[in-house]
Amino acid sequence: MSQAAFVLILALDEASVQGIHDQLRARFGHACRVVTSVPDALDSVAARVPDLVVALEPADPEATLRTLVMALGQQAPDVTVLAIGVEPAADLADAGVALQAHERPAKEADLIRLIGETAAGAATRREDRLLKQQLSSREIEDFEGIVGVSAPIQRIIERIRKAARNKLTVLILGETGTGKDLIARAIHNRSDRAGKPFGVLNCAGLSETLIESELFGHVKGAFTGATADRKGHFAAADGGTLFLDEIGDMPIAMQAKLLRVLEYREFTPVGSTEVRRVDVRVISATNANLEERIRDREFREDLYYRLNQWRIEVPPLRERPQDIPLLAMHFLRGINAENDLRVEGFSSEALKLLAGHHWKGNIRDLQNTILSVACEVEDGQIEAEDLPEKLRGSRALVPTNTGLVGIPLDQLEKLAIEASLSACEGNREQAAKMLGIGTRTLYRKIKDYGL
Q: Report the pLDDT value the prediction gives residue 401, as an integer from 0 to 100.
A: 38
Q: pLDDT > 90: what percent of the chain?
A: 45
CA atoms of 310 and 54, how far apart (whole Å): 55
Q: How far is CA 294 from CA 261, 287, 304, 307, in A?
A: 20, 15, 8, 13
Most confident of 177-181, 357-361, 427-431: 177-181
Whether 143 and 285 have beta carbons less than 8 Å apart is answered as: no
DSSP 2: P
Cite the beta strand spans of 217-366 per DSSP E: 241-245, 266-267, 276-277, 281-286, 310-313, 342-346
Whether 113 and 85 have beta carbons less than 8 Å apart is answered as: no
What is the pLDDT confidence band of residue 1, given thresholds at 50, 70 and 90? very low
Hey, do 6-137 and 151-315 end up sharing a CATH topology, with the first three levels equal? yes
- Which stretch of 129-133, 197-201, 271-275, 340-344 has the lowest confidence by average pLDDT? 129-133
CATH code, 401-449: 1.10.10
- Which stretch of 252-256, 375-379, 390-394 has the lowest confidence by average pLDDT? 390-394
Class of domain 322-395: mainly alpha
Please give the single-letter amino acid code of residue 100.
Answer: Q
- Determine the average pLDDT of the residues in 347-365: 89
Q: Report the pLDDT value the prediction gives residue 245, as an integer from 0 to 100.
A: 97
Q: Report the pLDDT value the prediction gives residue 3, as an integer from 0 to 100.
A: 66
pLDDT in tens, 227-266: 888 899 999 999 999 999 999 999 999 999 999 999 999 9
pLDDT in tens, 269-283: 998 988 999 999 999
- Give the fold, CATH level 3, of 6-137: Rossmann fold (3.40.50)
Q: Residue 282: how many CB atoms within 10 A of its CB?
A: 22
Please give the CATH superfamily to which domain 151-315 belongs: P-loop containing nucleotide triphosphate hydrolases (3.40.50.300)
Q: How far is CA 144 from CA 25, 141, 153, 182, 210, in A?
A: 44, 9, 13, 7, 32
* Nearest alpha-carbon partner for 188 in 214, 169, 174, 213: 169
Domain boundaries, the chain: 6-137, 151-315, 322-395, 401-449
What is the pLDDT confidence band of residue 128, given thresholds at 50, 70 and 90? low
Its sign, for the CA torsion 309, 321, 375, 341, is negative
CA atoms of 152 and 302, how far apart (whole Å): 29
Looking at the DSSP bridge assignments, the partners of residue 82 are 54, 100
CA atoms of 185 and 342, how far apart (whole Å): 31
Contacts of 115 (CB under 8 A, 6+ apart): 7, 9, 20, 24, 52, 54, 82, 84
Whether 100 and 84 have beta carbons less than 8 Å apart is answered as: no
pLDDT at residue 67 is higher than 80: yes
Coil, helix or strand at residue 147 = coil
Q: pLDDT > 70: what percent of the chain?
A: 89
Its sign, for the CA torsion 48, 38, 6, 53, is negative
Coil, helix or strand at residue 239 = coil
pLDDT at residue 400 is higher than 50: no
DSSP 143: B
